[in-house]
């Protein structure tokens, strides 16, 4: 069965420090991968998505970047965190292809980031 | 552009009341998928339902029911006889079918439901 791992669960980082959040998927190949952020206002904002290794699409200009060095690994990074980067970060994957079964999503358990 | 609007930011009901959460979407795609997710205080997203744009049949699952109306671009969610455990944030979401959009899921802002005993 497919699983998605996201870590760490919580993180407190000072302003100006770097960030690296990692997400890995098991039990599938060539997935679409996504990073979402949920700020205090509750809405889920799509930050990045990737349809393959090295292919990253950015949805919102910001202080963050994403990379996909391996098929089932998706990394969210920042060189210097801002206070506004605080939030709840969720990784997700979905399968490619057609048919109803390929249009589901699986979300990780999330990382709660507090920038102080 | 694609957009999902959940106009109700917060709803508070007393246990056993029925409650409907509204969702209105915008898309130029003729084929798309709509979703509802529940987010309890722990933060994880719990999948509730997925609906294909070709299937306008309403669906009922226990105390949950969904009313999909393509003519008004709405996909509303009703909880019958609400319970305290239904308290959570509920998200409506839209997925484009086009491959070059990466199958991204666009969420509404969410509706926080509070069910009081």
What are the φ/ψ torsions at residue B85 (nearest 5 degrees)?
-70, -10
Consecutive 10-residue averages of pLDDT for chain A (116 residues): 90 97 93 90 86 89 90 96 94 76 79 96
From chain B, pick out residues whose CB is under 8 angstroms from the CB of A114.
none
Among A113, A83, A115, A114, residue whose Cα is nearest residue A21: A113
What pLDDT, on the 0 to 100 scale, is given for residue A106?
Answer: 87
The answer to whether the CB atoms of B43 and A50 lie below 8 A apart is no
The answer to whether the CB atoms of A109 and B43 lie below 8 A apart is yes
From chain A, pick out residues whose CB is under 8 angstroms from the CB of B45.
90, 107
What pLDDT, on the 0 to 100 scale, is given for residue B5?
Answer: 96
The answer to whether the CB atoms of A90 and B45 lie below 8 A apart is yes
Which phi-psi region, left, alpha or beta, contains residue B16 (left: φ > 0; alpha: ψ -120 to 50)? Answer: left
Which value, in Å, is the radius of gyration of the alpha carbons in chain B? 14
What pLDDT, on the 0 to 100 scale, is given for residue A101?
Answer: 52
Cβ-Cβ pairs closer than 8 A, A with B, add up to 58
Q: Which of B47, B93, B102 sits opposite A49 (nearest CB)?
A: B102
CA angle B92, B11, B104 (to 5 degrees): 15
pLDDT band for B57, please (50, 70, 90 cuts). confident
Q: Which of A46, A100, A104 sits opposite B104 (nearest CB)?
A: A46
Distance CA(A17)–CA(A39), nearest Å, equals 19
What lies within 8 Å, CB to CB, of A45 at 6+ separation is A36, A37, A38, A39, A59, A60, B107
What pLDDT, on the 0 to 100 scale, is given for residue B99?
Answer: 53
* Helical (H) or strand (E) element with B110: none
- Alpha-carbon distances, residue A58 vs A4, A34, A65, B40, B104 (angstroms): 21, 10, 8, 28, 11
Mean pLDDT check: name the lowest of A96-100, B9-13, B23-27, B86-90: A96-100
What pLDDT, on the 0 to 100 scale, is given for residue A100?
Answer: 52
Residue of B nearest to A34 (CA): B104
Distance CA(A35)–CA(A46), nearest Å, equals 6
Tell which B residues from 34 to 93 touch A, by Cβ distance under 8 Å.
Answer: 35, 43-45, 47, 50, 52, 89, 91, 93
């Amino acid at each position: 069965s497919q699983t998605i791992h996201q870590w760490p669960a919580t993180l407190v980082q000072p302003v100006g420090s770097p960030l690296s959040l990692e997400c890995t998927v098991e039990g599938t190949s060539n997935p679409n991968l996504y990073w979402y952020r949920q700020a205090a206002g509750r809405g889920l904002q799509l930050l990045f998505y990737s349809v393959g290794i090295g292919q990253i699409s950015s949805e919102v200009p910001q202080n963050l970047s994403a990379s996909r060095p391996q098929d089932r690994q998706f990394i969210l990074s920042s060189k210097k965190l801002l206070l506004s980067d605080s939030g709840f970060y969720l990784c997700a994957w979905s399968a490619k292809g057609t048919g109803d079964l390929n249009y589901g999503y699986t979300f990780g358990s999330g990382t709660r980031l507090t920038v102080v | 552009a694609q957009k999902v609007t959940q106009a109700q930011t917060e709803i508070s009901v007393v246990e056993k009341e029925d409650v409907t959460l509204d969702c209105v979407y915008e898309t130029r795609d003729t084929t798309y998928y709509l979703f509802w997710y529940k987010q309890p205080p722990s933060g994880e997203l719990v999948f509730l339902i997925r609906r294909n744009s070709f299937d306008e049949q309403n669906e009922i699952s226990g105390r949950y029911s969904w009313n999909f109306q393509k003519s008004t671009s709405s996909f509303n969610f009703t909880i019958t006889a609400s319970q305290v455990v239904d308290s959570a944030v509920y998200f409506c979401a839209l997925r484009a079918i086009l491959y070059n959009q990466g199958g991204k899921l666009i969420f509404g802002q969410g509706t926080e439901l509070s069910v009081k005993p």
